[in-house]
Amino acid sequence: MEKNSKNLHSRNKFNQEYDFKKLIKHVHQLKKHIQILPDGRQTLDFRDPESVLLLNKALLESEYKIKNWSLLEGSLCPSIPGRLNYIHYLADLIQPKNPKKINVLDIGTGSSLIYPILGFLEYHWNFVATDTHIPSLQHAKKILNDNPYLKNGIQIRHQEKNEHILEGILHPNEYFDAILCNPPFFKSREDYRQTIIKKNQKLHQETESTRTNFQGLSNELWYPGGEKKFITSMIYESIALRNQLGLCSVLVSDKENLKPLKAVLEYHKIEDIKVTQMTQGNKINRILSWRLNK
């Protein structure tokens, strides 16, 4: 079996080794992607997008009974254990003072609808899932139609203004206890291309290859100014809408962006600023969060 990270959140269902025998019962196609290590353990080629997609599908079906989960062709392929990590850490950050229903806004939900699915099934949170990309939202609606009980806690909403993140999404008098967001990281198509080529060269793969195991549509991968500019815009829009928002959170991939982003929050006298580190294997990610109303 493939050893999963021991340093996922303590409540993460996938903090143990994958039971491939069980997973193959749910998604038979996964069997042809299984590889045997010299010590006899089973694993997958995690560099292969199809292997990762089938693993995700099997995890969601075996643990959450999600049927017919799939992705829009070419869209970002999420790591289910990693996405679940964010959900659990967000639950720790929200710390509701009363057991009322928690309303969460997912910025850039993509065709996978993964954060609302996990958040609704783990914590019964109500979600509004947003995106600027209409085909991704149409695909997400198909997932809801195939799993109609999810409609009890998940709404899908189109962000019509590409230049905005929060503005235009929130309805008057609507309040969200939390926001979560996995923002685009790269500054442009060329920035993405050069970064992936360098990464593949380090891994001794094809010298000019831009192949990745996660794929991604342009709106998921790059944004003018990159991750820092996106999150900065999100901060300013959250401040403008502070009466409708509780805890705001966003993933930060580049640790060098934390200092300038925190400086923006501090300049606007936002006091409750936290950086939560998450690990999954050798990968380190960070949640930057700020609370607008005490």
Closest CA to 112 of 91, 126, 133: 133
Specify the pLDDT at position 6: 57
Residue 85: phi and psi, rounded to 5, are -55, -50
Which runs of E-coded beta strand occur in 32-114? Answer: 34-36, 42-44, 103-107
**Domain membership flag for residue 41:** no
User: How deeply is 294 buried, as exposed, middle or buried, from its count of CB atoms within 10 A (0-12, 13-18, 19+)?
Assistant: exposed
The verdict on residue 195 lying in a domain is: no
Name the pairing type of β-strands 272-280 and 283-291. antiparallel
Q: Residue 263 is part of a domain; what is its CATH number?
A: 3.40.50.150
Position 138 in a domain: yes
Question: What confidence score (pLDDT) does residue 193 get?
Answer: 61
Q: Which residue has the higher pLDDT, 68 or 16?
A: 68
Q: Is residue 171 part of a domain?
A: yes
Does some domain include residue 83? yes
Average pLDDT over residues 120-145: 96
Q: Which residue has the higher pLDDT, 51 or 195?
A: 51
Q: What digits encode the pLDDT tens for the residues 167-224? A: 999 999 999 999 999 988 665 566 556 655 566 555 555 544 444 444 565 566 647 7
Domain-embedded: residue 155: yes
- Per-residue pLDDT, averaged over 259-268, amounts to 96
Q: How many domains does the chain have?
A: 1
In terms of average pLDDT, the best of 12-21, 186-195, 200-209, 277-286 is: 12-21
- Of residues 170, 143, 174, 145, the one with CA closest to residue 159: 170
Whole-prediction pTM: 0.87
Q: What is the pLDDT of residue 180?
A: 97
For 81, the domain range is 72-187+215-291
Percent of residues, the chain, with pLDDT higher than 90: 64
Tokens of 57: 């599908």
Query: Among 10-24, 93-107, 213-227, which is the least confidently predicted range?
Result: 213-227
Q: Does a structural domain hold residue 40?
A: no
- Whether the per-residue pLDDT at 66 is higher than 80: the answer is yes
How would DSSP label each residue in 180-192?
Answer: EE----BSSHHHH
For CA atoms 290, 292, 293, 294, the dihedral sign is positive
Per-residue pLDDT averaged across 217-246, rounded? 85
Tell me how far apart the alpha carbons of residues 91 and 83 are, in angstroms, rounded to a whole number.
13
Structural domain contains residue 129? yes
What region does 170 belong to: left with phi over 0, alpha with psi -120 to 50, or beta?
beta
* Burial of 129 (C-beta count, 10 Å sphere; 0-12/13-18/19+): buried
Between residues 11 and 45, the one the model is more confident about: 11
Q: Which pLDDT score is estimated for 189?
A: 61
